[in-house]
Amino acid sequence: MDMFIKVLFLVVFFAIMIGVGIYCRKQATDVNGFVLGNRSVGPWLTAFAFGTSYFSAVIFVGYAGQFGWRFGLASTWIGLGNAFIGSLLAWNVLGRRTRVMTQHLDTATMPDFFFKRYNSKSLKITASIIIFVFLIPYTASLYNGLSRLFGMAFGIPYVYCVIAMALLTCVYVVLGGYMATAINDFIQGIIMLGGIVAVIASVMKINGGLTETIALLSEQTAVLPSGTVFKGAYTSFFGPDIIGLIGVVILTSLGTWGLPQMVQKFYAIKSEKSISTGTIVSTFFAIIVAGGCYFLGGFGRLFGKMSADGVKPEGGYDSVIPTMLEGLSPVIIGIVVILVLSASMSTLSSLVLTSSSVLTIDFIDPVFFGKKAMDEKKKVLCMRIFIVFFIAISAVIAVVQASSPVLFISQMMGVSWGALAGAFLAPFMYGLYMKRVPKAAVWVNFVIGLGISIASFICNLTGVKFASPVLEYFKSPINAGMLAMILGIIITPIITLIAPAKDTERTDKIFECYNKKVTVSSKKSIAEDEPEKEKPAKPKQAKAKTAKAK
């Protein structure tokens, strides 16, 4: 009976996902429909697409377990940072301007934006290569954690889990494109919201409730680098390592501003109302899902055992969350499995759609077809082929990495986020606000983002140790990514002041899109008071007739 419940959950879930793909196939006949849903996606679908692409199984199983173990309940700050910096602030700073300018420039991808905004075909091709190289290992990392959960729930080998997830995602993305992804993201987002609340409530009951669980965690001690024993470190406000915590908050929150699969959600927004509603919904979603995941991970030390090295738990960080769930009811475990599948598939669909569209529109078409551009049907067919390719190669990498842990692949996954965000965040954001940003500033950001992230990757791969605490701190892929983003934000305005863009006439025309007059309701804008008009005087003849009538 227990197994029947779990299998039933999976069958219903799979049927809904495929059904949505079939339903949306008529809207995915051209590039605009396949990649952007004809720019007609409503606020709730856009908000959930943004949130579900943001939070994958990597966060629920990997990051929640790792950072919950390191920082305790203070890891909840990561989820709150994701909500207020990665969602609320991102929508307010980027949402409207991205939608307006990308429609004005008629761009569907981030590399195409760089091409038309900065008038550089080489920027477009380089950006497409960066996305291609760094999104594949990021995509492969989404399968992490599924092996333990499926093994615990069904006793199914990891390979079959990966194949099932890859095939299902491939079917509905290939059939329905962005609209199918957005609708399924909404369904998957609902599952994630309900699932994380149910899981937290169930885990807290194990030790007698929230208060008792926190009391038990407060007995845990940490030894600080100075040698001080910190009792209650994992229930303290900022945890035992505030500097490390800040680095994680910045990378995972600010990083979304430069990730192509996240920014692309703003391209498809339908209207002004969609931005207002989407901002609120996506922030609420992030508070519950991200805040809930990291809050749950904060109790990891009550369930996992310390390994011999005295730092990591037995079985690694990915074992923390599954260990918490082992004693729960079959229904809750079934919900967790669907939750993790939803989180993984929503992000996977977004990544492969971004990768295939970028490779087709920004690399294959300009490099191999040149002036004889591909027609709409060929582009859509090419994107569908590359979706299958990206999903297949990511699944192969995930299986290889799990069966024979390859350090290269594991480390590469860690630098993907930092490299992409470090290279793209500043030139994209400033490109929406500042007319004078030169293409040289974009190249500098590409070099900084890739240079720092790759240097961190090499240092960790070779096991280099630095005498300087500062260098040792930034050797971490997370801290390296944070450094790349901050440097880009600081350096870009400096380069703009020193060597501003010269094609001012062209950029002035681009920024005219923000000056277009639109009519809004009084709820959005208060009209200036008009002078009260004098009442027209009644004709004398009328007065005379009136008097006579009296």
Total number of residues shown for the chain: 550
Q: Label residue 154 by pLDDT band (50, 70, 90).
A: low
The answer on 357 and 216 residing in a single domain is yes
The answer on 416 and 401 residing in a single domain is no
166-203: pLDDT as tens digits: 888 888 888 888 888 888 888 888 888 888 898 899 88
- The yes-or-no verdict on residue 149 having pLDDT over 80 is no
The answer on 469 and 412 residing in a single domain is yes
Mapping DSSP to helix (H, G, I), strand (E, B) and coil, where does residue 371 land? coil
In this prediction, residue 173 carries a pLDDT of 86
Among 37-41, 150-154, 474-478, the range with the most confident prediction by mean pLDDT is 474-478
- Residue partners of 469: CB distance under 8 A and separation at least 6: none
Q: Could you report how far apart the first and last alpha carbons of the chain are, in Å?
A: 94
Higher pLDDT, 303 or 427: 427
Domain boundary among 383, 405, 427: 405
The answer on 466 and 370 residing in a single domain is no
- The DSSP string of 251-316 is HHHHGGGG-HHHHHHHHTB--HHHHHHHHHHHHHHHHHHHHHHHHHHTTGGGTSPB-TTSSSBTT-
Q: Would residue 524 count as lying in a domain?
A: no
- The yes-or-no verdict on residue 56 having pLDDT over 80 is no
Which two three-digit tokens encode residue 9? 């959950």
340 neighbors 13 (Cβ within 8 angstroms)? no
217 neighbors 447 (Cβ within 8 angstroms)? no
- The yes-or-no verdict on residue 116 having pLDDT over 60 is yes
- 65 vs 203: CA distance, rounded Å: 14
CA-CA distances (angstroms) from residue 420 to 77, 129, 136, 363?
23, 11, 12, 17
Q: Would residue 525 count as lying in a domain?
A: no
- The yes-or-no verdict on residue 288 having pLDDT over 90 is yes
- The yes-or-no verdict on residue 81 having pLDDT over 90 is yes
- 533 vs 523: CA distance, rounded Å: 25
**Mean of the pLDDT values across residues 40-44?**
79
The answer on 355 and 341 residing in a single domain is yes
Question: Which DSSP symbol is given to 221?
Answer: E
The answer on 470 and 451 residing in a single domain is yes
78 neighbors 281 (Cβ within 8 angstroms)? no
In this prediction, residue 544 carries a pLDDT of 44
- The yes-or-no verdict on residue 140 having pLDDT over 50 is yes
In this prediction, residue 206 carries a pLDDT of 87
The answer on 382 and 310 residing in a single domain is yes
Mapping DSSP to helix (H, G, I), strand (E, B) and coil, where does residue 122 land? helix
- Backbone dihedral region of 459: left (phi > 0), alpha (psi from -120 to 50 degrees) or beta? alpha
Q: Would residue 52 count as lying in a domain?
A: yes
What's the one-letter identity of residue 1?
M
Q: Would residue 534 count as lying in a domain?
A: no
- 142 vs 66: CA distance, rounded Å: 15
294-339: pLDDT as tens digits: 999 999 888 877 777 667 787 777 778 888 887 777 778 777 777 7
- Phi, psi dihedrals of residue 191, rounded to the nearest 5°: -60, -40
Higher pLDDT, 527 or 257: 257
In this prediction, residue 540 carries a pLDDT of 52
Higher pLDDT, 298 or 529: 298
Q: Label residue 283 by pLDDT band (50, 70, 90).
A: very high
- The yes-or-no verdict on residue 93 having pLDDT over 60 is yes
Q: Would residue 530 count as lying in a domain?
A: no
- Residue partners of 436: CB distance under 8 A and separation at least 6: 496, 500, 501, 504, 507
The answer on 240 and 182 residing in a single domain is yes
- 443 vs 55: CA distance, rounded Å: 29
pTM: 0.83
The count of domains in the chain is 2
Least confident range from 195-199, 389-393, 540-544: namely 540-544
- The yes-or-no verdict on residue 409 having pLDDT over 70 is no
Query: Using CB atoms within 10 A of its CB, is residue 538 exposed (0-12), middle (13-18) or buried (19+)?
Result: exposed
In this prediction, residue 535 carries a pLDDT of 52
- The yes-or-no verdict on residue 548 having pLDDT over 50 is no
Higher pLDDT, 298 or 525: 298
The sign of the CA dihedral 449, 453, 354, 81 is negative
- 79 vs 290: CA distance, rounded Å: 4
The runs of H, that is alpha helices, within 72-157 are 76-83, 90, 96-105, 110-118, 121-140, 146-153
Query: Using CB atoms within 10 A of its CB, is residue 1 exposed (0-12), middle (13-18) or buried (19+)?
Result: exposed
The answer on 466 and 395 residing in a single domain is no
Domain boundary among 355, 375, 405: 405
- The yes-or-no verdict on residue 219 having pLDDT over 80 is yes
The answer on 166 and 215 residing in a single domain is yes
- 479 vs 60: CA distance, rounded Å: 21
Higher pLDDT, 184 or 485: 485
Domain residues for the domain of 496 are 406-514
Q: Would residue 342 count as lying in a domain?
A: yes
Q: Would residue 545 count as lying in a domain?
A: no
- Residue partners of 208: CB distance under 8 A and separation at least 6: none
Q: Would residue 540 count as lying in a domain?
A: no
Place of tokens 């987002």: 189
Angle, helix 158-206 to helix 146-153, in steps of 10 degrees: 80
- Phi, psi dihedrals of residue 230, rounded to the nearest 5°: -110, 100
Q: Label residue 411 by pLDDT band (50, 70, 90).
A: low
The answer on 416 and 342 residing in a single domain is no
The answer on 422 and 291 residing in a single domain is no
- The yes-or-no verdict on residue 255 having pLDDT over 70 is yes
Domain boundary among 384, 405, 426: 405
306 neighbors 220 (Cβ within 8 angstroms)? no
- When the pLDDT of each residue in the chain is averaged and rounded to a whole number, the result is 82
246 neighbors 486 (Cβ within 8 angstroms)? no
CA-CA distances (angstroms) from residue 141 to 345, 416, 452?
12, 10, 21
- 256 vs 269: CA distance, rounded Å: 17
Q: Label residue 424 by pLDDT band (50, 70, 90).
A: very high
Which two three-digit tokens encode residue 192? 């994630």
- Backbone dihedral region of 538: left (phi > 0), alpha (psi from -120 to 50 degrees) or beta? beta
- CATH of residue 144's domain is 1.20.1730.10
CA-CA distances (angstroms) from residue 486 to 114, 445, 482, 519?
20, 11, 6, 38
- The yes-or-no verdict on residue 423 having pLDDT over 80 is yes
- The DSSP string of 315-366 is T-GGGHHHHHHTTS-HHHHHHHHHHHHHHHHHHHHHHHHHHHHHHIIIIIII
Higher pLDDT, 355 or 40: 355
